A = this chain, B = another copy of it.
Amino acid sequence: MGTDFQPSGIVGTAVKKIKVGILGGSGYGGSELLRILLFHPNVELNLVTANEHAGKTVASVHPNLNQLTDLKFIGNPGEEQLSQLDCVFLALPHGQAMEVVPGLPPHLKVIDLSGDYRLSDAAVFERYYERRHISFEWQQKFVYGLTEINRREITEAQRIANPGCFATALLLGLFPLVDSKSITGKIIVDAKTGSSGSGAKAAANTHHPKRTNSFYAYKSFTHQHLPEVMQVLTEAGLSDELVFQVHSAPMVRGIFASIYVSLASPKTAQQIRELFDQYYRGSFFVRLVDGSPDVNWVKTTNFADIGMAVNGTNAVIFTAIDNLVKGAAGQAVQNMNLMFGLEETTGLLLAGSNP
């Protein structure tokens, strides 16, 4: 595929488009992939599945897309249909990608938004996801898709395990510090997420009358994004503990992570900012801000806003992302762009709104 694909931006030539499919288009991850891919200048969206909605129009399930697409959901695609694609996004519930991946045509580039292929240790996977892995031998063929950290590997990858939403927020805030050996001792991460992180299905914890006035913690010491964070950071040299606590905030979109670290030596906020600035030079979607970021400014966008406060050796790094975009669908498309030789930002210049 790689040879006959033409990057966009060549004036006067017809652009060869990437033929894309989405498996699992009814959830919020799928919904955001649709919102982005339908307008991506180098993508031809050919196929989107949703078993329970097979035959219905996409717009009947996602009325925000009414008038913008005539696509219909299909059920399970046949081999014929898949073989005509260049790239497929898996936006399926945890545990389903592992069933699907082994049967996909080998030429297909695959981007999996679930946690099925992120962890390189099967025992760790089973502990955190509470299920057995049925195609773990495929895990090695996946590259962990944290774009800003793994850009080179992603560019050459055939299959991507797209990071978890919390993992994205944590790693973008921690990697420069760990990789530069700037910190020492235990790391505390206090993360907060909006209700869209719980998915599109109604549940007790997202019941509007309660959630609107709720703030609470959950999954202490057991959140499934912790091991993927540790996997990356350990490889980067981290030897200390990381305590990770997630909370539900009464907002719809966004993750805000407060990362508490001890610096190896006293620094100013300006010095830490410069460290981040060096790491993320060339990373369009990382925006360094003074003081604290705010999820309001990243909502519906692919940006990760990072700020920091420092007092001697005590530092707090603040990361804000949209859980469904930079934390899922947006980063997935960012990875697709790299895999197909496109500008990383293609189709992703989503400007959030002020109010």
Residues of chain A whose beta carbon lies under 8 Å from any beta carbon of chain B: 11-12, 28, 31-32, 35, 38-39, 62-68, 186, 188, 190, 192, 194-196, 198, 200-204, 206-218, 220-221, 241, 243, 245, 247, 249-254, 256, 258, 260, 262, 284-285, 287, 289, 291-297, 299-301, 303, 305, 307, 309, 311, 314, 316, 318, 320, 324, 349, 351-355
Contact = CB atoms under 8 A, between A and B. Distances in A.
B301 A64 contact: yes
A235 B251 CA distance: 39
Nearest to A204: B202
A287 B355 contact: no
Contacts of A194: 209
A215 B28 contact: no
A42 B268 CA distance: 45
A324 B201 CA distance: 26
A208 B296 CA distance: 12
Task: Please state the number of chain copies in the assembly.
Answer: 4
The 10 A-B pairs at the shortest CB distance, nearest first, are namely: A220-B309, A209-B355, A190-B190, A217-B292, A216-B294, A64-B352, A12-B12, A195-B208, A208-B211, A31-B354
Contact of A210 (B65, B214, B296): B296
Nearest to A307: B217
Contacts of A241: 314
Contacts of A196: 209, 355
A351 B216 contact: no
A49 to B, nearest CB: 17
9 contacts: A28-B354, A39-B349, A64-B351, A64-B354, A65-B351, A208-B252, A216-B256, A216-B318, A300-B300
Contacts of A297: 63-64, 66
Given A208-B208, A215-B256, A324-B353, 17 more contacts: A11-B12, A35-B353, A64-B297, A65-B351, A66-B287, A195-B212, A196-B209, A202-B202, A206-B208, A206-B209, A209-B355, A212-B212, A212-B252, A213-B299, A243-B314, A249-B251, A250-B251
